[in-house]
Amino acid sequence: MYRSEDIQARLRERPFRPLRFVVSEGLRYDIYHPDLVFVGRHDLMIGFASPESPTVYDRVIRVALVHLVGIEDLPVPATPPTTNGIA
């Protein structure tokens, strides 16, 4: 299981490197902006922004930390996407 402190440390790295959260159900959440991830003691809130406001979430999903099975680095895109992605 990942600790909230470890996730926060990864999100605070500078420069920020896009990452992917992999959860036990097999879903993958691509993170392109660290301000759209809120880290709690027992879960993450992942915000998904609209193209019009790329740093303000339009909807959120909560993921329990016990279901987080992987954190992967994503390649840095030439042109960053405008929203957090779900794969």
pLDDT at 77: 66
Tell me the CATH class for 4-86: mainly beta
Q: 30 and 74 in contact (C-beta within 8 Å)?
A: yes
Per DSSP, helices labelled H in 1-87 are: 4-12
Domain boundaries, the chain: 4-86
**pLDDT tens across the length of the chain (87 residues):** 899 999 999 999 999 999 999 999 999 999 999 999 999 999 999 999 888 888 889 999 999 999 999 999 998 767 656 567 665
From its phi and psi, is residue 10 left (phi > 0), alpha (psi between -120 and 50) or beta?
A: alpha
